[in-house]
Amino acid sequence: MSAKPIKELVEMPVKLTSGHRLCAGCAESIIARQVLLATDKPIVASNATGCFEVSTTIFPYTAWNIPWVHTAFANGAATGAGVEAAYQGLKRKGKIKEEMRFVTFGGDGGTYDIGFQALSGMAERGQQLMYVCFNNEAYMNTGIQRSGATGFGASTTTSPAGSVVQGKTEFPKDLTQIMAAHDIPYVAQASPHNYKDLITKAEKGFECGGPAFLNTLSPCPRGWRFASEDTILIAKLGVETCVWPLYEVENGKYALTGESKRIAEGKLEKKPVTDWFKAQGRYKHMLKPENAPLVDKVQKEIDAKWEKLIRLSEI
């Protein structure tokens, strides 16, 4: 299974239009459009409260060309699962005959933290719904507060870098691994810079026959402090430094993909985490000489998780 040729992709119906109010350089609309290109079947989307929701549906306007449901922070997956359950019931009664697909979008705040219980419940019930997380590593919609996805050392409004504390003092939870532990058919990490990899993974998620979870790196110019035109470069850098490896877990089998596979095979350089820090203002304090031990701590954590992922992927 692989993404269609780009000529076919650009000719597909536009399901999320231009004219939304997302910030210049926001990765969320890029990711969503790539995900929506992954199926030809009728699709219904639900959307947890967050940047993407408020910016694509400012009353009385909408950027959506498909059925779309707004939900609260905490119940994005539950609402999507309810729509999928209604569809299955109507299908059993013969009132709907066509095949349909269902997707829920949510930010890391509404996925890693507030909405995790609904996401875990959907996975445990085995419903055919793909959940897509826009991981911009903070509660961006409400003021750049740290979340469970925020990186160690990142400066946010609730984990500011100062004279006493140098940004967030905890490592982010590994939600991709947590979802893989649910033993659902498909789990993956993706990045918008590699559209073929992302669309292929979304297609697998839609067609896996059960719950799927797609965790996507979603660089935020406003919260991460970089120029809006550099979004795709930042996303690529996240993969090249192994801060955000590209991989999938398909029916329990791990596999590295894209640039991450090439790094593991020795065909591409693995860049140091300092490259990641230098590219973003939220980490500028980490480059001070006195914070070198903190940088070493982050690099060791990245290296350890990367080696574990290689072992899991049998590279």
CATH number at residue 200: 3.40.50.970
Q: Residues 150-179: pLDDT tens digits? A: 999 999 999 999 999 999 999 999 999 999
Q: Does residue 257 fall inside a structural domain?
A: yes
Domain range for residue 308?
A: 6-313
Q: At 308, phi and psi to the nearest 5? A: -65, -40
With b for 16 or more beta-carbon neighbours within 10 A and e for fewer, the 81-102 pattern comes to bbbbeebeeeeeeeeeeeebbb
Q: Does residue 26 fall inside a structural domain?
A: yes
- Identity at 172, one-letter amino acid code: P
Q: 221: cis peptide before it, omega within 30°?
A: no
Q: Residues 173-217: pLDDT tens digits? A: 999 999 999 999 999 999 999 999 999 999 999 999 999 999 999
Q: Residues 72-102: pLDDT tens digits? A: 999 999 999 999 999 999 999 999 999 999 9
Q: Please tell me whether the overall predicted TM-score, pTM, comes out greater than 0.85 for this model.
A: yes
Number of domains in the chain: 1
